[in-house]
Each structure stands twice: as C-alpha cells, then as structure tokens.
C-alpha cells in the first residue's frame, strides 16, 4: 500500500475513512464536495481497487487498539508514570465506557465497509458467488472483503466476549450504531437484494417500462432485524464456514503490475487466509481443521519455499523482521509509511527521548524470560542421585538475538546501553557478582524496541505484524502437544511421525521437515542459536530446574513412569515462554494466555502470569480478580448503550 490508501480521497473522501454507500440512493461525499452515485462510482476497475485500499486504511485504524488490548492486559508490558488515563484503566482491568481504546467503533466501521463492498460486488458482479465461473479480480476483491470482515469479528469477540452480529444490509456506521443501541427489533430503512433474474442494470439505463425486479434489484423498505449477540464459538463457526465455502479466490495480484512483492503480504491473500482460518480453528479447539491450514503455510511448495525458518533471519538478522516487510517471514502485515501520512503511536508510547512520551515499558517477567535463556549448557548427571547433578558448563546467558537490542533495550535517559556493557552485566550476574552487575545498570531503564529498529525519531510508521512464519510454526507445535497427550503419546496425529519429535523438530532445529525436502531448516529457536540439544526445548524424564541468572541446578523432577499429563503441563509452560520470546509486543499475548487457560480449564495459567507483573503488594489482588474469567473481557454489550462520539 505505497499505496493508495490516502490517494483515494478523490473517490472516497476519507473524511469518514470509507463509509462507502449503503443503498442505491445514498451518496458518497468526497472532500471536493462532488457527489458520486453508486452507478457512477463503480464504473471502473480502478475505482473498485481504490475502495478496497480504503478498507485497508480502516484496518490501520485498529492497530493501536489491538496492540494495547492484546499486550497491556498480558504479562509482558507495564505502564510508566507517563501513561494516559485510558492505558491505566486497561492495565488495571477497570475499563470505562469512555475509554477510547475499548470503543468498538473502529470495528463497526470496518464491518460496515465490508458489508457494503461485498453487497455491491454481489449486485454488479454476481459471478463472485458462482463457483462454476472462472475467477476474476472481482472474485479476489470479494474474498478480501469477506476475510477482512471475519478478521474484524474474530478480534472483536476476543475483546468483548460477545459481539452483535451486524446484518449485511447495514452499511454505514450510523446504521450500525443505531442497530447496536436498539433495545430489540431494528427496522432497516432500505435494503437491496438481487432479483431471481440475477441481472443488474444501473438506474440510469432503466427503460420507462422496466421494473426493479426486471433490472435485477428488489427494494424492501421495512426489513426487521433482531439484534443477536454472538459469542466466540458462534463467530468462529459462522465465519470459518463462510470463508471455507464462499470464497472462490482471494487477493488481487497487484505486484504483477508494479513489481513490489510486498503487496503479497500487505493485502489478504491465500497464505493470510490460511493463517486466519487456522488461528480461528485453533482457538475453537478444532485441531483437525486447523492443521491443514497451518501446514499449507509451512509446507508450501512455492519456488522459494517461503516461510521455512532458514538462515534468512539467522541470529543478528532476526531483528530485520521488524525493519522491513519480507515475504520470507511476513504472512499478513499492516503497512504504514509516514510519506503517505500513515503513522501510528508506537514510538511515542515506547521511546524515552523527545518528542516521545515513554508511556509503556517491558515488564520484569518479560526481561527475565529473555535473560534466563542459556545456550550450550552441559549437565553432569549423577546417575545414583539425579537431584545432586551439577552443571559441567552453565552455558552462555541471554536470548541475545531476540532480546536486548531487538525486542527491548536498556537506556540511561536517552543513552542506550552498549553491547559490551550488557555482556559484562550478564556475565557478572552469572558469576554472582551482584555489586559489579548493579553498578553497570545504575539508572538504566528498559524500553520496547521492536518498533524503533531502523526508525528515525519522527518516523512513527513501524509496520504491524498480524501473522508471520514463526508464529504459525509455534501454533502447530502447540497443537501437537495436545494431540500427543490426548493419545498418551502412542497414537499419532494425522500426517505426522511421533508427536514428541514433531514438537521439538518444529521449535528446535527444523528436523520436522526432513521428510519433505532437503531444504535448510533451523527451527524457531535454532535460527537464534538456541536449538541444539543443550539449549533446545525438551521435556525428558529427567527434568532439572535452574536458577534463571546463574543456571545452577536448584531442583529436580522425575517424569518417568508415564507422567504424560505433567509433561504436558511443562510443554505448555515452555511453549508460552517461547511465544513470549519470539512474539512479544505483537498483539497476541493476552489471547495466548486465554487460549491455554481456557483449553485446560485453569484460569490460574493467565491469572498468575499477569499478576506477577504488578507490584508485590498488588499481586494477590490481581490474581484473585483474574481467576474469574468474566474479568478477561470488556463487557461493552451487556446492555444497550450509546456509542461515545470520537
């Protein structure tokens, strides 16, 4: 989108960020005060394309809200004393109806725009619903609109717990708001349907004797709509079915014309659709349905074998995932560019140097997780008393390539820590020289750095990843944990070898792919140097507990004798930690915790982790609050309310 989101003002007048038109007699009013009717607006392919780009602009408007509600309610992000009042409410799980980040208005905008665009496509290009007709670009636009709408509903229901289903006849924000705020039955003033003839002509071409039905439309002025609140299962069931069965094709291939391959991951196309479907099925607990979609991504047979985790982002290059868009890693990314006045507030929120405000910072548990990773460790196992085993070599501390300097940064005011200072601090702490270690860190604070990599102070246009390759690999590993334990490690999931080796082969070293081809694979941890036997994820019969900062063995647990359920618990903990190491501050942390907790029926999985980021005197209070799943949601729709104005 270098994109036409802002240059479409001539056609869309993004005064209301593309609120399209809602019926044949409603008008769109561009900034130039022109009045363009539907039959004139949709007369050219480039106008359809421009309107689709405007819908991606509506997705941009959701990014800050999605980030805050997905991360600040999780365990990896804290507020600072500079935080806005709305951020403080989110942090404390005490969110008011006036909170701008809790307002569903931007979801309604996108849903209304998708409703209208899909309606127009069905009227003017009825072939989009005919699977016997070869696909055209109109089919691909229709697929994009349906996918954007499903994505909006899925994210909204995870936030609010339930969401009003917005009938497709409602195509403006005003109509949606009136419908949502109605106490019961809502009467839609105008609704347009295809007639049985399936033939459409614009009103300007009607003959005097033509009727609406003869030219392909039926007007119904008194449609009754009953408001229905859909929960997460209803949303997932409805939209997975729609996406699986109604989409003929998805995603216009813009880069054929302009040579910019990043178009393939900044609009909804096949891999993004697979990621969304797999994610929804995984959230629903339908692993059998999710697996083919995830495998379509990571087992793809494209010429470049996209999305395998090779040396493209090896070690120091891992941070390049966040400085550019790259189709080897990104699956669907929301693009920003300050040259087109498309920016976000991430740098303003995270950076401590002017003109930014430093409102949010990494939590202590997040930093501890990165800094308690060890590579190349060697254990001398005492076979006669394994609890007395010792470290032959503790290894090298820190998840160095994903942690400091990539996901977070230490700074003293506006001065970042040097790499030498950081290494000295880490090794001094490992040697238990706390005094020298603390001396280096005096007056240091931590900042979120992912959205500042290679950014100028005033850029404020970091891209926002919705789906990327490593996240999909970890989703698939998560599924294998449950398949493996559900079958007590004996019966294997579909299309898999032993599930245990599949998990480690995905996460540690890429050996999951050895039967597919000779393509080079490193695994999620392997590409940052943490996938070898001494530092990869593993849940063996001998489970050692280590001090996070010295790596000394401080505990031992014997997992032999078929202790499958206990091994599953440890795998869950390891995978949640790995998702934090790889995907922190990408908007999904709170929902990761929710998914694991709900699947196991144990709210403490979320409650304990989130409470741990609070000051010691508040941890018990917050844990008790979050043991009640009711408090995980923003109950915006519990009773009719008027949506606040912007």
Q: Model confidence over 359-416: pLDDT tens digits?
A: 999 999 999 999 999 999 999 999 999 999 999 999 999 999 999 999 999 999 999 9
> Comparing 261-265, 381-385, 484-488, which segment has the lowest mean pLDDT?
484-488
Pairwise CA distance, residues 139 & 248, whole Å: 6
Take residue 352 and report the two structure tokens written for it: 């401590």
| Residue 21 scores a pLDDT above 60 | no
Are 242 and 150 within 8 A, CB to CB?
yes
| Residue 26 scores a pLDDT above 50 | no
| Mean pLDDT rounded to a whole number for the chain | 86
> In terms of pLDDT, which residue wins out, 398 or 170?
398
Query: What is the average pLDDT across 84-93?
Result: 98
pLDDT tens digits, 125-151: 999 999 999 999 999 999 999 999 999
Are 546 and 379 within 8 A, CB to CB?
no
Query: What is the average pLDDT across 493-500?
Result: 55
615 phi and psi angles, rounded to 5 deg: -55, 150
> In terms of pLDDT, which residue wins out, 279 or 173?
279
State the pTM of this model: 0.89
pLDDT tens digits, 423-474: 999 999 999 999 999 999 999 999 999 999 999 999 999 999 999 999 999 9
Q: Quote the pLDDT of residue 513.
A: 73
| Residue 36 scores a pLDDT above 50 | no
- Confidence class for position 491, pLDDT limits 50, 70, 90: very low
- Non-local CB neighbours of 181 within 8 Å, separated by 6+ positions: 640, 641, 642, 643
- Confidence class for position 547, pLDDT limits 50, 70, 90: very high
Q: Quote the pLDDT of residue 22.
A: 32
Q: Quote the pLDDT of residue 43.
A: 65
> In terms of pLDDT, which residue wins out, 541 or 68?
68
Nearest to 462 by CA among 144, 155, 64, 77: 64
pLDDT tens digits, 63-87: 999 999 999 999 999 999 999 999 9
Q: Which one-letter DSSP state was computed for residue 493?
A: P
| Residue 289 scores a pLDDT above 90 | yes
- Confidence class for position 23, pLDDT limits 50, 70, 90: very low
pLDDT tens digits, 463-480: 999 999 999 999 999 998
| Residue 635 scores a pLDDT above 70 | yes
DSSP track, 515-546? TT-S-----TTGGGT--STTTS----SEEEEE
- Confidence class for position 213, pLDDT limits 50, 70, 90: low
* Percentage of the chain exceeding pLDDT 90: 69
């Amino acid at each position: 989108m270098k994109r036409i989101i802002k240059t479409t003002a001539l056609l869309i007048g993004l005064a209301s960020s593309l609120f399209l038109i809602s019926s044949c007699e409603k008008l769109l009013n561009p900034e130039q005060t022109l009045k363009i009717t539907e039959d004139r607006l949709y007369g050219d392919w480039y106008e359809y394309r421009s309107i689709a780009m405007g819908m991606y602009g509506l997705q941009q408007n959701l990014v800050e809200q999605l980030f805050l509600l997905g991360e600040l309610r999780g365990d990896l992000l804290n507020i600072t004393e500079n935080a806005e009042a709305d951020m403080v409410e989110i942090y404390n799980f005490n969110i008011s109806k006036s909170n701008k980040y809790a307002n569903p208005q931007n979801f309604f905008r996108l849903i209304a725009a998708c409703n209208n665009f899909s309606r127009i496509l069905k009227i003017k290009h009825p072939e989009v619903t005919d699977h016997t007709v070869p696909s055209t670009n109109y089919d691909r636009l229709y697929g994009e609109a349906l996918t954007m709408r499903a994505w909006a509903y899925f994210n909204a229901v995870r936030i609010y717990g339930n969401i009003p289903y917005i009938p497709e006849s409602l195509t403006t924000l005003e109509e949606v708001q009136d419908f949502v705020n109605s106490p019961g039955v809502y009467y839609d003033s105008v609704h347009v349907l295809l007639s049985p003839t399936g033939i459409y002509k614009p009103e300007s071409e009607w003959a005097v004797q033509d009727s609406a039905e003869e030219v392909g439309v039926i007007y119904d002025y008194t449609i009754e709509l009953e408001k229905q609140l859909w929960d997460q299962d209803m949303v997932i069931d409805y939209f997975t079915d729609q996406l699986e069965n109604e989409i003929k094709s998805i995603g216009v291939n813009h880069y054929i014309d302009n040579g910019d391959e990043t178009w393939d991951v900044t609009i909804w196309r096949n891999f993004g659709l697979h990621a969304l479907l797999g994610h929804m099925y995984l959230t629903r607990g339908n692993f059998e349905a999710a697996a083919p979609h995830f495998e379509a991504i990571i087992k793809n047979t494209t010429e470049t074998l996209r999305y395998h985790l090779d040396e493209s982002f090896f070690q120091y290059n891992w941070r390049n995932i966040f400085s550019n868009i790259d189709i080897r890693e990104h699956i669907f990314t929301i693009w920003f560019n300050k040259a087109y006045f498309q920016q976000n507030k991430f740098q303003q929120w995270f950076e401590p140097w002017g003109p930014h405000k430093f409102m949010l910072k990494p939590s202590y548990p997040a930093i501890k997780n990165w800094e308690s990773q060890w590579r190349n460790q060697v254990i001398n196992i005492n076979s006669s008393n394994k609890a007395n085993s010792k470290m032959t070599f503790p290894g090298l501390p820190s998840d160095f390539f994903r942690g400091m300097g990539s996901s977070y940064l230490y700074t003293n005011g506006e001065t970042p820590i040097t790499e030498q200072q950081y290494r000295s601090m880490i090794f001094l702490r490992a040697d238990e020289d706390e005094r020298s270690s603390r001396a280096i860190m005096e007056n240091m604070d931590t900042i979120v750095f992912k959205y500042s990599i290679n950014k100028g102070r005033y850029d404020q246009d970091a891209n926002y990843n919705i789906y990327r390759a490593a996240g999909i690999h970890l989703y698939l590993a998560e599924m294998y944990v449950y398949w493996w334990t559900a079958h007590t490690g004996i019966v294997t999931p579909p299309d898999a070898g032993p599930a245990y080796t599949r998990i480690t082969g995905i996460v540690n070293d890429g050996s999951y792919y050895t039967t597919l081809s000779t393509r080079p694979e490193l695994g999620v941890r392997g590409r940052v140097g943490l996938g070898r036997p001494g530092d990869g994820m593993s849940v063996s019969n001998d489970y050692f507990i280590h001090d996070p900062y010295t790596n000394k063995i401080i505990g031992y647990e014997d997992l032999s004798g078929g202790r499958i359920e206990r091994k599953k618990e440890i795998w869950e903990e390891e995978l949640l930690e790995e998702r934090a190491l790889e995907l922190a501050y990408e908007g999904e942390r709170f929902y990761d915790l929710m998914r694991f907790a709900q699947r196991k029926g144990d709210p403490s999985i979320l409650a304990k982790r989130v409470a741990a980021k609070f000051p010691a005197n508040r941890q018990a209070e917050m844990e008790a609050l979050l043991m009640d799943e009711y408090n995980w949601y923003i109950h915006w729709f519990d009773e009719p309310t008027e949506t606040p104005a912007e």
